Chain A
Amino acid sequence: MATNYRELTINGLWKNNPALVQLLGLCPLLAVTASVVNALSLGIASMLVLIGSNFAVSLFRNFIPSAVRLPIYVMIIAALVTSIELAMQALTYELYLILGIFIPLIVTNCIIMGRAEAYAAKNTVAASLYDGFIMGLGFSIVLVLLGAIREILGAGTLFADMQLLFGPIAQSWKIVIFSDYVGFLFAILPPGAFVGLGLLIAVKNWLDQSIDKRKRAKSDQPQKLDIQPLKNQT
């Protein structure tokens, strides 16, 4: 079976985006997106686990007895998450303290189990690696977008504390958007996350619809003479 990387890309980033369409992994998504640095770190950690678990599952897909495949997937995912948690403690300890419980909670992120079961268990190693990467990227992009919106509204800054992730060079990355900003508490608290995510999903759906409409309008043109324009619904 030839792998269609173009389709995988479109699926992971847009059509089947884990956060905006599948709505998976919302617990960490909503909890850690108060700033870009938190969102980006959790996104990277999730992506690494996703790539690793897709790799391992597709590598062993012919050896895993199908009756017990789910416990085995869970073991693989849990081992990867534990390793990444330890690595984060060793390399970026401050960030580990901030993200806290949400790193071990990656185990329960349904995207990872979902991709293992739905994709990696049936496809080649290379395709599964790419699928893990692109799904992780789709998830991370939404995390970072939401993090950026909430950080701008809530704290009036963008890219604050990036040195936690990238070392001292990132100290100067912080952009103060509104100086002397008192902060918009709502954006930092959980309701802000829900509303922010809802708006992102709405924008995505709106874009989808307007693209769809334009496409339909184009394909309808030559037929206009034959068919009554009855299609009001989209």
Chain B
Amino acid sequence: MNMQQSLKINALGIGCFATITAALIAVTFVLTKAPIEENVRRQKTAKLYEIIPTHKFDNDLFTDTVELEGTEFGYSQNISAHVATVKGRVTTIIFPVRSSQGYSGDISLLVGINADTSIAGVRVITHTETPGLGDKLELKKSPWLHSFTGLKKVAEQPWAVKKDGGQFDQFTGATITPRAVVNAVGKSLDYFHKHRQRLLDPSAISGKNSSGETNNGN
């Protein structure tokens, strides 16, 4: 068998198997596309619903969003904050917030703020904090995140962890992680205070009656 022949056979062999394997992936992709999209959506909305129970609003929380400059929230691109309304009035806004002050890597959060500037709830989406020390951010491990709920930021009480003279407990063996979260939530509250008028204007909501992709800047 000369060189040309063997080249031909090898090329043909690779080509055949490339086609077969690509076809296999294509078929699986088409079959699983719909369920995967459904799962991603359910996963995302589940976190939103944890912050505001479904009976507290009457719009589609997933598609009703307002576009904001992401730099204030630790993102480089614009972010989409989810808006909950009751009879057209804005009741709660959920901001995606990212903190780069974590002990190891970024901490992605959802911060829900009510129209009266109190915290509706805070949830961690992803983090890479040390297991056993910093991971008390997870509600599964510790109820710490609940300590934000209902709080307002007032001048006489510093918004900081206890070590920094504030009101929030740090975890045993981990101060950096709670400090990062407390600061990120505080910053979102400041932003909300500053832009309250604009944020509570229901006409700013995009996504209504449109299929606008929501982009959290992740």
Q: Which residues of A contact B (CB under 8 A)?
A: 34, 60, 63-65, 67-68, 71-72, 75-76, 78-80, 82-83, 86-87, 89-91, 93-94, 97, 154, 183, 185, 188-189
Residues of chain B from 102 to 151 with CB closer than 8 A to chain A in the complex: 130-133
A87 and B132: CB pair below 8 A?
no
Which residues of chain B come closer than 8 Å to A80, judged between CB atoms?
A: 24
CA–CA, A82 to B9, complex, Å?
Answer: 27
Contact pick for A75, options B6, B17, B39, CB 8 Å: B17
Which residues of chain B come closer than 8 Å to A91, judged between CB atoms?
A: 35
Q: What would 27 A/B residue contacts be, using CB atoms closer than 8 Å?
A: A34-B131, A60-B17, A65-B6, A68-B10, A71-B14, A72-B14, A75-B14, A76-B17, A78-B21, A79-B21, A79-B25, A80-B24, A82-B25, A83-B24, A83-B28, A87-B32, A89-B35, A89-B36, A90-B31, A90-B39, A93-B36, A93-B40, A93-B43, A185-B130, A185-B131, A188-B131, A189-B131
Which residues of chain A come closer than 8 Å to B35, judged between CB atoms?
A: 89-91
B18 at the interface (CB under 8 A from A): yes
Which residues of chain B come closer than 8 Å to A185, judged between CB atoms?
A: 130-133
CB distance from A182 to the nearest CB of B (A): 9
B22 at the interface (CB under 8 A from A): yes
CA–CA, A68 to B35, complex, Å?
Answer: 37
Residues of chain B from 5 to 49 with CB closer than 8 A to chain A in the complex: 6, 9-10, 13-14, 17-18, 21-22, 24-25, 28-29, 31-32, 35-36, 39-40, 42-43
Q: Which range holds the interface residue count of chain B? A: 20 to 34
**Chain A residues touching B, majority SS:** helix
A93 and B39: CB pair below 8 A?
yes
Which residues of chain A come closer than 8 Å to B40, judged between CB atoms?
A: 93
CB distance from A197 to the nearest CB of B (A): 18
- Name the residue on A nearest B39 (C-beta): A93
A72 and B17: CB pair below 8 A?
yes
Contact pick for B25, options A63, A83, A97, A154, CB 8 Å: A83
CA–CA, A65 to B111, complex, Å?
Answer: 58
Which residues of chain A come closer than 8 Å to B14, judged between CB atoms?
A: 68, 71-72, 75
Which residues of chain B come closer than 8 Å to A94, judged between CB atoms?
A: 43
B13 and A65: CB pair below 8 A?
yes
Which residues of chain A come closer than 8 Å to B24, judged between CB atoms?
A: 79-80, 83
A67 and B10: CB pair below 8 A?
yes
Please name the 3 residue pairs, one residue from A and one from B, whose CB atoms are nearest each other, closest first: A79-B21, A93-B39, A90-B35
- Name the residue on B nearest A68 (C-beta): B10
Given contacts A63-B13, A68-B13, 6 further A-B contacts (CB under 8 A): A67-B6, A79-B22, A90-B32, A93-B39, A93-B42, A97-B43
